[in-house]
Chains A and B, each alone.
Chain A
Amino acid sequence: MNVVHYRKQATNRALLFLLPFALALPSCHKDADSRRDFALQYWSSNNGGEIRFSQWTVEEWNSKHPENPVKYQPVPEGQSSEEIILAAVVAKTTPDIYSNIWQGLVEFYSRSGILVPLDTLDGFMEFIQQRCDSATIREITSSDGHIYQVPWKINPILSIYNKRIIEALNMGGFPPTYSTYLEAARRFQKDTDGDGYVDQWFGNTSVKLAWYQRLFNFYPLYLAASGGMPLIKDGRANFNNQYAIGAFRFLQELYRENYFSRQVEAAGQDLFIAEKYASKWTGPWEIEYLEKYKRKDFDYAFAPIPVPDGHEGPVYTYCDPKSIVIFNTCQNPQLALEFIKIMVSEEGDLQFLQHTNQLPRRQNMDTLPRFREFFAQNPRLQVFAEQARFVKGADICEVLVEVFDILSQEYEACVIYQMKSPEEAIADAEKAVNVLLRVREGPDF
């Protein structure tokens, strides 16, 4: 056997072995994780404030329970946390506790059988009844009667407005009802440079089709008008009513009269900061953003979501709720619950509020002395804390995303392009949603 031949054989063999080796290599480092030196793994969201809060919680826990240490990890930054969770479930790398799940998705995961029913754990019901009022508990109870989530935090949606502009309109403050809102919009609309096009608008809200955009325009308006009625009730559409139709009509008029701009927000700079928009609908996160980018003399305030004329009672809104869940890969759910209790203890909630400027979903928050102190120092957040008494989250429905998608399709056709009357659009949406929900009974997609 000569040398060349031998070398060639070696090369061939190396090549043959190369591929399977390359296949196996990347999975190694994740397997190493399974030799765990901690009792629980907790995934938090990846924004700065929440990471600091998670640090605090884990340190707090670990100092009290050194025998059962918790390890936390922010979910990787990038796409939506839903996709990350899904990938983790498939790859069987789910954590024990995850704290940033949208309330509207919990039913999807619980129906897929990957969450722990928390009400089967000792002391959960007492704990949840202390944290939440009965309406919230009803809102989070799954269709199978179990509870799979701990309501954690909310960001209520309100109207934000440019104070200088609203005062100049002489309407005696921000218009609270549909008719005064439209009147204010009419007064503000203008073609300032005389080129034949309107160049300042009373408001702006996303015209994008993505389903979740409806959580920030139609849905708060619907909840405000209806006093917090659900979209889905007893497994069928519950929204073909005067409130949904009224909200569609109101929005349709805003676009028809060109009171709201149809410019896609990504196509230019922020026109609210540029004072071309007098108002918009947004959550408490807007405060930090505005303080960062606004001009010094720019002054703003918040007001409730507009309601139909003659509306009585409190004005509800959507609160963008996030929950904490325990995955059923967890070896010790009872321990996980104890950890969650630390996370949402009075001290925990206060720490969370201080670190993130987001509100804990805890009843009567604004009556606790230490919270009152915080809000006194942060008056901008006070209005959100008051609103927190009158908020709704998401309905229990496995296919809620698709329900919002259907509403979004009709929203675009009716509100943005005026191709349907509000009555038709809502009726069509109701029909499509009922088809969707009935199909779910049998084989489906």
Chain B
Amino acid sequence: MAQSAGDRRRINGPEESFSPVFDDDEEDIKLKTQRSRAAGDIRPIFLQPGLISQANGSAYIETDKTKIACAVYGPRQTKTTTYSEKGRLNVEVKFTPFSCMRRRAPIRDAEDRSLAVSIHQAIVSSIRLELFPKSTIDVFITIIENDGIEGCIASASVAASTALADAGIEMLGLVSACSAAIVGDDIHLDPSEAEARASSGTVILACMPALDNVTSVWQSGHMTADMALKCMERCHERCIDIHSIVAQSLLEHRTAA
């Protein structure tokens, strides 16, 4: 991957370098698409609030290989001088260079932005922004290891909501999120990267299970409307499970502190 030329602010390597090419790539991909759990099962979740001591609130989430750290700073004063009655939510996503199979050169690309928008959408309607006029809440997300973009968006939304709760920011409810992929005629929940690549379409659902409200749905690829609704239903069921994990981890963190 080419480095951004002449970046004096970093230690630069050679002008060009390439990801190694393996002689048995196809075999490897076939091996990875095999699913070791049932179609309706999600990967085990490890969630720990409050790991980042410098932040107002934080959460670390691990779903099998996917590892994401999230920190909330603020609310702080908005920099722009125009008056706004509602607070702003600022979501920034960053991939570590070693988070994907190919190295990501440390320049902001379009994927960070689109991920940030999806996560923003998933959590923004849960926060009582009307309580923070002229203020901005910063949510910073670092993806340490990525195993499927869909799973990353879902896990990062859960982590962001947990971190916001840890920061003591008023919300209507905790957000949980789950993803699904159509593989053949089956619905596989929480697909890994190889599974998502082999699928014909994906759905990511974010909701507030306590209020039985949906905050964001993101469907891509082709599938029948029936299938999409079925995916959403399955995701919603899992979101209720995830919600209890989030609530439990927050409760344990509070009682330990």
Partners in one complex: no
A interface residue numbers (CB < 8 A to B): none
